[in-house]
Structure 1
């Protein structure tokens, strides 16, 4: 079993003992997503795949938060914000803006990117080191700004 998966399983047991329903619901949703992928693809998810799944779940929740806030549904937005906090606990420490900028600059230089046509090449180089540590949407905007 992967290290992150074991940590999440332990956190679920902890949430059950503490009778923390909100946290337990979020952790169960994460485990359900892992299980769905394992059954669909007939694989055992590893840590890198778990990071990708958690990153996707974070993105979905952030999108929901912005939509709920735009609709004036702060009650629903608060639920999503709580879920984001739980999911982030299991991700590696986030990169600072300076670290992201440095990694983007290095990737552009190493890939020899000269314009927007090379954006995919740069994103491909950054996906691994930044997975779960940076909002890839923001990274994409930064790359576009530097490649123009």
Structure 2
């Protein structure tokens, strides 16, 4: 399970006295714990790896946005810190599909659903997320779906 891998990485970082990695793994575990608490109040949870992957993807997206904002603002030291945290987060994410593989999946789903124009974007995106949500960066997939339906 991904959660166990993160815990093991945190212990390893603490033993190695790697403060940056320890902080990054603690942040990941804190977000996972927050999601556990949120799900406990709603429906009791579900597939643990899917939930952890979802949390990691959201964290990675936040880091990417922060990196671009810091770089635009000339704050390279903060951008570097975010890049490091992003690299730690990505270690625990499942391998992401390439742009070509994603485009092929989109074409398959588009043909299967009979999607032909932008009105069908929601259906295509929903099906793509349902089938391959943990393997694809949905932000990039959105632009690929737009291009495929245009």
TM over 0.5: yes
Residues 45-93 of structure 1 show CA distances to partners (whole Å, capped at 9, x for unaligned) of 6111111110000000000000000000011000000011000000111
Moved more, 94-103 or 46-55: 94-103
2:107 aligns to what?
105
Would you say 1:54 and 2:56 are equivalent positions?
Answer: yes
Q: Output the CA distance in 1 between the equivalents of 2:59 and 2:50.
A: 14
**Cα contact 1:55–1:131 (8 A) shared by 2:** no
Equivalent residue for 1:19, pick from 7, 17, 20: 17
2:81 aligns to what?
79
Q: Output the CA distance in 1 between the equivalents of 2:77 and 2:144.
A: 32
2:34 aligns to what?
36
**Cα contact 1:54–1:91 (8 A) shared by 2:** yes
- Write out the 4+ residue segments of structure 1 that deviate beyond 3 Å after TM superposition: none
| TM-score, reference length from structure 1 | 0.93
| TM-score, reference length from structure 2 | 0.91
Q: CA RMSD in A?
A: 1.3
* Shift, 1:40, TM fit: 2.4
2:6 aligns to what?
8
For structure 2, which runs of at least 5 residues remain unmatched after alignment? none
**Cα contact 1:58–1:84 (8 A) shared by 2:** yes
Moved more, 40-49 or 3-12: 40-49
Equivalent residue for 1:70, pick from 55, 69, 72: 72
Instruction: Kindly tell me the number of residue pairs found equivalent between the two proteins.
Output: 146
For structure 1, which runs of at least 5 residues remain unmatched after alignment? none
